[in-house]
Structure 1
Amino acid sequence: MITLFDLPSTVGTWSPNVWRTRYTLDYKNIPYKVEWVEYPDIAPTLQSHNIGPGGRKPDGSPYYSVPAIIDVDDETGKVKKALADSVEIAKYLDEAYPDTPKVLPDDEKELESVVGFANGLMRLWVPVFMIVCKAMLPQLHPPSREFFSRVRAKDAQQLYPGYETLEDIPFSKEDKEAAWKAFKESFTKGLAAHENLVQGKWFLGEGRIGFADFVIGGVLLWLETVFGEESEEWKDMSQWDGGRWEKFIDGLKEYQKA
């Protein structure tokens, strides 16, 4: 049985990165259970399961993050694999469960394109990232809320120096409108570079659903969850590019079992 580590909130699962792995598991129809981990507990929890860091912080210290999984043999109780990072998890699941539909392509150029897309998509939401974080803050549980607030304020020191918490960082109505406009331009321009998406297909083409689509779906679900299905932000975004993204997320709903 696979255990998936996820971040809790008052609105359920929300992390765009964890959604990548949830989609992957549900698409493959692999049974799993969820262990909820508050932000301050991520590093000690993963370390206790011998799951290494997913990367390094700017100061060189290890960065522990979710999604992470443990795959335990049901008969022996032995751990078959314990790892973090959504791309690495997808690679492992494709190899360890060959009788399930693959989410990553075999072709090296296509694989490079998918992984590059997954790693680069975060740049598209930079204009609105801090606003989304502020909107998410009250929906986190108290142990995570304080941790998240201070860490994200520290991350934003270059743009917003002198603030110790997210709550302290001011955003006027004009600031939010400008950020949302910049995000729309960034998002649509970034995805317009991929011909299949422009044509309303999956990232790798018609009938070839896969990991890159789960990356997009994770972002869309993140924003819908944070702002709310009836919010002005989500209603606006779902209609961008002729309503393409509302159709896109609808096409993934059968793999959205959380």
Structure 2
Amino acid sequence: MITLFDVPSTVPGKAWSLNMWRARFSLNYKGLPYKTQWIEYPEIAPVLKSHNIGPTKYFPDGSPYYSVPAILDIDDKTGEIKAALAESYDIAKYLDDAYPDTPRLLPDDETQVKAVKEFSKEFINIIWLPSLYLILCKAVLAKLNPASHEHFSKARARDLHPFYGKDRLEEIPLSAEEEAEEWKKIEGCFNALEKSIKGTDEKGQWFLGDQITFADFVIGGFLIWTRKILGEESEGWKYIKGWNDGRWVRFLDGLKEYSQRID
């Protein structure tokens, strides 16, 4: 049985994070049985260490950074640990190798695999805008359980420190008027995302045209995160729904069958 480690929230179904949704989409698409172990942010490092799941990166001072999604795959019959790893792309690659009779997340063609991998790594740079990150992270903070508030507030403020110079998200001001003004700039990020998809196949719904791959779960993870955190009736989601001729609503609708299962 596969265990997926995820951070809970107060949104329906608990699952919210763009990165965790990448792995959840992958498992659902393959139809693999799994269970979720919900852990709060301060628990991530000790829980992953206890399962010998290594860090996904290191800070400039050399300290390790432990993150989710992470999975533990244990053989039901023997109890043998088949895999213990983190990072959504590495998880996708493992699932393809370990379960070859299920739908593939990565294409067979090596050139296409490279395109999917590069897109997955560069995605954040395509969609990145400090104001968008701030708006979404502030919305996340309001939907996390109290046990995760302090950790998330400080960690995300650290990410944004070069732009805002604060140590906690709550210390970064953002009025309704400022947020409305920022959404005008954010549209450009979605235009860039649209271009990255159309550049492969203008007729295709997905990153590689008619074929769903892990790259589509990267996009879908971001979109479902945005919708769940902002809310269906929020002004922000209404903006997104109207951009790029409704592309993003259609995109999420196309992934609906893989977003229903939260075990």
Q: Which residue number in structure 2 is paired with residue 158 of structure 1?
A: 162
Pick from 65, 85, 88 the counterpart of residue 87 of structure 2: 85
- In the TM superposition, residue 240 of structure 1 has moved relative to its aligned partner by 1.1
CA distance in 2, matches of 1:200, 1:91: 24
Matched, 1:205 2:203: no
The structure-2 alpha-carbon separation of the partners of 1:59 and 1:187, relative to structure 1 and needing over 3 Å to count, comes to farther
The 8 Å contact of residues 6 and 68 in structure 2, kept in 1 or not, is answered as: yes
- In the TM superposition, residue 198 of structure 1 has moved relative to its aligned partner by 4.6
Matched, 1:242 2:239: no
The 8 Å contact of residues 203 and 209 in structure 2, kept in 1 or not, is answered as: no
CA distance in 2, matches of 1:232, 1:55: 35
Mapping of 1:125-164 within 5 angstroms?
A: 125-127=128-130, 128-161=132-165, 163-164=166-167
Q: Which residue number in structure 2 is paired with residue 119 of structure 1?
A: 121
> Structure 1 counterpart of 2:153, which letter?
S
Matched, 1:43 2:45: yes
Give a deviation string over 1:129-180, Cα, whole Å, max 9, x none: 011101110110111011111121222221112x221111101234312322
The 8 Å contact of residues 53 and 63 in structure 1, kept in 2 or not, is answered as: yes
Pick from 66, 71, 74 the counterpart of residue 73 of structure 2: 71
Give a deviation string over 1:162-204, Cα, whole Å, max 9, x none: x221111101234312322222102212331332465352111
The 8 Å contact of residues 192 and 198 in structure 1, kept in 2 or not, is answered as: no
The 8 Å contact of residues 5 and 66 in structure 1, kept in 2 or not, is answered as: yes
CA distance in 2, matches of 1:201, 1:251: 8
Q: Which residue number in structure 2 is paired with residue 55 of structure 1?
A: 57
CA distance in 2, matches of 1:179, 1:234: 14
Q: TM-score, normalised by structure 2?
A: 0.93
Stretch deviating more after TM superposition (152-161 or 33-42): 152-161
CA distance in 2, matches of 1:157, 1:92: 35
Paired residues, number: 256
Q: Which residue number in structure 1 is paired with residue 20 of structure 2?
A: 18
Stretch deviating more after TM superposition (23-32 or 188-197): 188-197
CA distance in 1, matches of 2:204, 2:251: 8
Name stretches of at least 5 consecutive residues in structure 1 with no aligned partner.
none
Name stretches of at least 5 consecutive residues in structure 2 with no aligned partner.
none
The 8 Å contact of residues 191 and 198 in structure 1, kept in 2 or not, is answered as: no
Stretch deviating more after TM superposition (67-76 or 236-245): 236-245
SS of residue paired to 1:193:
helix
Q: Which residue number in structure 1 is paired with residue 112 of structure 2?
A: 110
SS of residue paired to 1:156:
helix
The 8 Å contact of residues 197 and 206 in structure 2, kept in 1 or not, is answered as: no
- In the TM superposition, residue 239 of structure 1 has moved relative to its aligned partner by 2.1
- In the TM superposition, residue 243 of structure 1 has moved relative to its aligned partner by 0.7
SS of residue paired to 2:246:
helix
Q: Which residue number in structure 2 is paired with residue 226 of structure 1?
A: 229
> Structure 2 counterpart of 1:189, which letter?
A
- In the TM superposition, residue 119 of structure 1 has moved relative to its aligned partner by 1.1
Give a deviation string over 1:21-69, Cα, whole Å, max 9, x none: 1111000000000000100110111000000011122333211100000
